[in-house]
Amino acid sequence: LDRMMRARYLGADRIPPMAGALAMLNQLAADKLWRVAIATGNWRQEAAIKIESAGLLIAALPMATSTDRLARREILPLAIARASERYETEEWHRAVYVGDGVWDARVARELGMAFVGIGKGNRAAALRREGAGSVLADFTDLKAFWSALNQARVPEPPGGAP
**Could you tell me where the beta strands, DSSP code E, fall in the chain?**
38-39, 63-64, 96-99, 114-118, 135-136
Reported as a pLDDT band with limits 50, 70 and 90, residue 3 is low
* DSSP string across 101-117: SHHHHHHHHHHT-EEEE
Q: Kindly state the helix (H) or strand (E) to which residue 148 belongs, with its residue range.
A: helix 142-151
pLDDT value, residue 11: 58
Distance CA 17, CA 25 (A): 11
**Would you tell me how many other CB atoms lie within 10 Å of the CB of residue 31?**
12
- What is the pTM assigned to this prediction? 0.83
Contacts of 48 (CB under 8 A, 6+ apart): 59
Work out the pLDDT band at 106, boundaries 50, 70, 90: very high
pLDDT confidence tier of residue 44, bands split at 50, 70 and 90: confident
pLDDT band of residue 70 (cuts 50, 70, 90) is confident
